[in-house]
Chain A
């Protein structure tokens, strides 16, 4: 059986800087994969290459559900069922909360020019149905009370939930979350953790997660990939990563005492 997402030889150079070098990894269906690493280690580059935001260097290969999607356009990749969130969220602040999710539904609905032109009855019925569906989804991410609120008025924490909801609205096979917990209060991190676990349990989603909040990564991920300076330095279960010397060094530098480092990683 082939993996859901297969990456091999993925490389990206920005001028003289190698952001990602010859990275290979496989994400199996139904798994929650964490990608961690210090700032500048290439995590976001990995996301942007896989989702087609930047073109990858020659020799790179990204396969999704067995299909080669290397250097396809972002919307083509999204239409194949690979959804992502952004570190800077990029929610549509001038739309209402529910409209944001409806944009996410774009993949599933197409009324065609004719239907759209004349606002046919079946279009209105379909709109009502999708809206109801999206209200349910809002309930799942905990924003049901804000459906008609302009998204720009949400707090940062709520915006993160909305970005997650918008990606979910695409009914993806693979969901890539770029630092979903950044800036969240500890209580909200707990909530997010529940949500991520529910994604897997309830929707059977495969999730790739870039995150700095160790607690979330350690508690939710099945496998963790560690990047440093654009290279993969470790991969394994949370427990294995927790005790990996290379990881500890990369993250915290050599000066730190082992005991301190362990304490940090275990605080998670």
Chain B
């Protein structure tokens, strides 16, 4: 045995250990997380940092909507109304009851989740456009209720919502707040990812495609519909609370109107219904487009309409679906090629 070979053994061991680590799903997530930690340092001004925060919040919102709409196939136009419930719960808890952000956030998330599960009940009987109408009714009544309730600031808006505080340090700059919203967005995406790759995610997809066939496979359709609504509402509530506590700590019923809801739907549609990454990409993209076109806001919907038409024409499953399709085809071809190669030898 030469020295070279002897030295190679530990090296090989180390390499295979690294390979194993790289194959572990936590590795990719860890890398992404670390990369995202540095992101605010790359952008120069406060406005861009604000955009980063907004993207992260919208990711939470879009990933949540994708669970109920993209995976379980249940239309929920009330998603943003549930976010409003999260936002106002959080605002009231932290201003009127003196709760810190760290308590208000989970409580707001939870209460939004409960409301969301209740919103899911009509989905037992209604489908498609009818469910959309039912949830639309809820969405508008929540917004109007807020707009006429003085306790919630009515149509003036609700201000002075405190930022999160860690050991006396107020996270009221956009750069600091990023370190609150980014980990939540990453965790939310990760959780969505794991749910959708488990038996629960498959049950959702089965319900989206064919409820009768799903039931015949032993899936308790109503239970899973409710679960989808609940999970997505938790995301919405969390996003709402995060939006409320972001500087300048001001929310307005119009932040949650139908126009905004269409923007959120667009994130999921352009990104890819039923595709977690797609939703994330869509959230980032549409947030930026919405911001860049803000000065031409009267044309906003022409631009959004164009995006919808172009996506439907060229990527009917959105960006994520397009990528997925490519990967699936490649996997299939590889599998077939492996088969033929095996047959030839």
Contacts and interface: CB of A to CB of B under 8 A. Distances in A.
A and B interact: yes
Interface of A: 51, 53, 73-76, 78-79, 83-84, 86, 90-96, 99, 102-107, 109-111, 113, 115-119, 123-124, 127, 145, 147-150, 166, 170
B12 interface: no
Contacts of B335: 145, 147-148
Contacts of A149: 332
A53 B25 CA distance: 41
Contacts of B10: none
Contacts of A123: 194, 198
Contact of A150 (B201, B205, B208, B328): B328
Given A90-B213, A103-B203, A119-B25, 6 more contacts: A75-B215, A75-B220, A91-B213, A106-B206, A115-B198, A150-B328
Contact of B193 (A109, A119, A124): A119
Closest 8 CB pairs of A and B: A119-B194, A116-B198, A78-B218, A74-B215, A90-B213, A107-B218, A92-B209, A79-B218
10 contacts: A53-B212, A83-B217, A92-B209, A106-B199, A116-B199, A118-B191, A123-B194, A145-B339, A147-B335, A148-B332
Contacts of A93: 209
B195 A117 contact: yes
B221 interface: yes
Contacts of A104: 217
B209 A148 contact: no
B199 A111 contact: yes
Contacts of A115: 198
A47 to B, nearest CB: 10
A111 B198 contact: yes
B194 A117 contact: yes
Contact of B219 (A53, A106, A148): A106
B33 to A, nearest CB: 15
Size bracket of the B interface: 35 or more
B329 to A, nearest CB: 9
A77 to B, nearest CB: 9
B209 A94 contact: yes
Contacts of B218: 75, 78-79, 106-107, 170
Contacts of B294: none
Contacts of A111: 198-200
B199 A110 contact: yes
Contacts, number: 110
Contacts of A107: 217-218
A103 B219 CA distance: 9
Contact of B202 (A51, A53, A99): A99
Interface in B181-233: 190-191, 193-195, 197-203, 205-206, 208-210, 212-221
A94 B205 contact: yes
A150 B25 CA distance: 25
B198 A103 contact: no
A73 B195 contact: no
Interface in B319-342: 328, 331-332, 335-336, 339
A85 B335 CA distance: 28
Contact of A103 (B25, B217, B336, B339): B217
Nearest to A113: B200
B215 A116 contact: no
Contacts of B274: 94
A170 B217 contact: yes
Contact of A86 (B25, B198, B216): B216
Contacts of A118: 191, 194
Nearest to A102: B202
Contacts of A83: 216-217
Nearest to B196: A116
Nearest to B198: A116
A106 B213 contact: no
Contacts of B195: 116-117
B206 A103 contact: yes
Interface string B284-308: 0000000000000000000000000
